[in-house]
């Protein structure tokens, strides 16, 4: 089973395609204004069975944009609690610090680039964990 997870935001959104076994197949950060172009591309390329949307502050805005694009693919609102913080851990798992940064605890570090895509991936991983 594949899902497309969306971490909603006012300016940008994280997108992630995640398999039920936890494998992150694709991820991207897109401008919220470009969702109408990007979501159909993800749907065509990956054909996910479900779209997961974080239930945070901008979920209603993103839901209005995304719902008409989904066709028969169901949309589920999922808990977004702590996803940004926990996405940091996922980011550093995939992008381990180098050089002197290796010696600084990860809890004290902030990724050097946006990581909304990892927040989306984390929401998908949590969804699969809760629905085993």
> What is the rounded distance in angstroms from the CA atom of residue 11 to the CA atom of residue 8?
9
pLDDT tens, position by position, 56-106: 889 999 999 999 999 999 999 999 988 888 899 999 999 999 999 999 998
Looking at the domain covering 2-130, what would its CATH class be? alpha beta
Contact 40, 29 (CB under 8 A): no
* The token pair that represents 77 in the structure block: 């609102």
Count of helix runs (H) and strand runs (E) in the chain: 4, 5
Q: How far is CA 110 from the centre of its chain?
A: 18
Average pLDDT over all residues of the chain: 95
The confidence band for 107, taking pLDDT boundaries of 50, 70 and 90, is confident
The confidence band for 123, taking pLDDT boundaries of 50, 70 and 90, is very high
Regarding pTM above 0.85, the answer is yes
Domain boundaries, the chain: 2-130
* % of the chain surpassing 90 pLDDT: 90
Q: How far is CA 47 from the centre of its chain?
A: 16
């Amino acid at each position: 089973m594949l899902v497309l997870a969306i971490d909603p935001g006012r300016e940008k959104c994280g997108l992630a395609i995640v398999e039920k076994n936890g494998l992150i197949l694709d991820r991207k950060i897109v401008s919220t204004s470009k969702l109408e172009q990007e979501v159909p591309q993800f749907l065509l390329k990956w054909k996910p069975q479900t779209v997961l949307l974080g239930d945070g502050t901008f979920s209603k805005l993103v839901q209005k944009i995304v719902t008409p694009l989904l066709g028969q693919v169901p949309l589920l609102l999922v808990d977004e609690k702590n996803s940004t913080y926990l996405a940091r851990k996922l980011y550093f798992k995939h992008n381990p610090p180098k050089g002197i940064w290796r010696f600084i605890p990860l809890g004290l570090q902030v990724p050097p680039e946006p990581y909304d895509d990892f927040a989306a991936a984390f929401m998908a991983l949590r969804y699969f964990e809760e629905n085993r």
